[in-house]
């Protein structure tokens, strides 16, 4: 049984061989990440990488007008702060906690030290980065070509994949900000999904009642991103007794 908090709840950490994991374990710091916390801001030097376990982090851009849109989300399948090991150190995007929970924080020097050993950690991080790029590219295409209802279905399904429960705590304003659309558009799309019996919405709580039905309403973007992540990490073998959840 996993303890209430364990690095093994993050898929990348759970996939490390025992020797590599033990080299990191003493440097991993469990931190609570409340809703709305900014893990990094545009143009600032990143000091830590974050491996979410029960939290979800949104990578998004804020325009000069104040409007914003999510380019990708990161949950227990990945890591926040890829620019640290890709050599950029800073990024023009922000990382904001979308779903409160916990993450394991790793200081950038230790991350780079382990990455430069060219072991499985490097392999996993580079593969995950390719999956993240796919998610960003697909999100851009989705926002341009698909309806708000399709985008909402995609976003809900991706959030569900990372969340420990079927009920999501989030307001329509938050969802609208993530998708970069007007709140009225989310209200209308959510109303249609609720009328169809796929979700229920009340006071900032969205419960998914029919996941299969939600998948039929989503565009192909959800399946593309999920399939690419599975393909890139298909050869991952979790440590004995440490399968990620």
Q: Are residues 18 and 93 in the same domain?
A: yes
Q: Are residues 89 and 175 in the same domain?
A: no
Query: What is the model's pLDDT at position 42?
Result: 86
Q: Are residues 79 and 67 in the same domain?
A: yes
Sheet with 29-33: strands ordered across: 29-33, 101-107, 48-52
Query: What is the model's pLDDT at position 241?
Result: 54
Q: Is residue 240 part of a domain?
A: no
Q: CA-CA distance, 159 to 47, in Å (whole number)?
A: 26
**Cα separations in angstroms, 45 against 7, 51, 177:** 25, 18, 25
Q: Is residue 238 part of a domain?
A: no
Q: Is residue 174 part of a domain?
A: yes
Identify the domain containing residue 131 by its residue range. Answer: 7-143+225-232
Q: Is residue 245 part of a domain?
A: no
Q: Are residues 173 and 118 in the same domain?
A: no
Which residue in 151, 138, 139, 209 sits closest to 182, CA to CA? 151
Q: Is residue 241 part of a domain?
A: no
Q: Residue 204 is part of a domain; what is its CATH number?
A: 1.10.10.10
Q: Is residue 242 part of a domain?
A: no
Q: Residue 42 is part of a domain; what is its CATH number?
A: 2.60.120.10
Q: Are residues 41 and 65 in the same domain?
A: yes
Is 28 in contact with 7 (CB distance < 8 Å)? yes
Q: Along the 245 residues of the chain, how does pLDDT read in single tens digits?
A: 445 889 999 999 999 999 999 999 999 999 999 998 999 988 888 899 999 999 999 998 877 787 778 899 999 999 999 999 988 777 788 999 999 999 999 999 999 999 999 889 999 999 999 999 999 999 999 988 999 999 999 999 999 999 877 778 888 888 888 888 888 999 899 999 999 999 998 878 889 999 999 999 999 999 999 999 988 887 777 765 555 54
Is 56 in contact with 74 (CB distance < 8 Å)? yes
Ramachandran angles phi, psi of 166, nearest 5°: -80, -15
Query: What is the model's pLDDT at position 215?
Result: 94
177-192 burial, b if ≥16 CB within 10 A, otherwise e?
Answer: bbbbbeeebbeebbee
Total count of domains within the chain: 2
Sheet with 68-74: strands ordered across: 38-40, 94-99, 56-62, 68-74
Q: Quote the strand ranges of 34-156, DSSP E.
A: 38-40, 48-52, 56-62, 68-74, 94-99, 101-107
**Cα separations in angstroms, 79 against 10, 146, 198, 200, 227:** 9, 28, 31, 31, 18
């Amino acid at each position: 049984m996993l303890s209430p908090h364990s690095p093994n709840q993050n898929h990348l950490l759970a996939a490390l061989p025992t020797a590599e994991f033990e080299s990191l374990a003493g440097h991993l710091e469990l931190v609570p990440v409340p809703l709305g916390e900014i893990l990094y801001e545009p143009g600032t030097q990143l000091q830590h990488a974050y491996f979410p376990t029960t939290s979800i982090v949104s990578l998004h851009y804020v325009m000069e007008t104040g409007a914003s849109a999510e380019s990708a989300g990161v949950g227990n399948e990945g890591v926040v702060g890829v620019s640290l090991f890709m050599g950029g150190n800073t990024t023009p995007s922000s990382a904001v906690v979308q779903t409160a929970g916990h993450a394991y924080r790793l200081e950038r020097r230790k991350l780079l030290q382990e990455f430069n050993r060219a072991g499985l950690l490097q392999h996993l991080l580079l593969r995950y980065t390719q999956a993240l790029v796919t998610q960003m590219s697909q999100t851009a295409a989705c926002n341009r070509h698909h309806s708000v209802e399709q985008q909402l279905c995609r976003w809900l399904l991706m959030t569900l994949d990372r969340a420990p429960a079927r009920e999501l705590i989030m307001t329509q304003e938050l969802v609208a900000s993530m998708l970069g659309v007007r709140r009225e558009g989310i209200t209308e799309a959510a109303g249609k999904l609720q009328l169809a019996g796929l979700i229920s919405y009340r006071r900032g709580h969205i419960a998914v009642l029919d996941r299969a039905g939600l998948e039929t309403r989503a565009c192909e973007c959800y399946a593309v991103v999920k399939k690419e992540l599975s393909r890139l990490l298909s050869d991952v073998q979790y440590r004995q007794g440490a399968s990620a959840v």
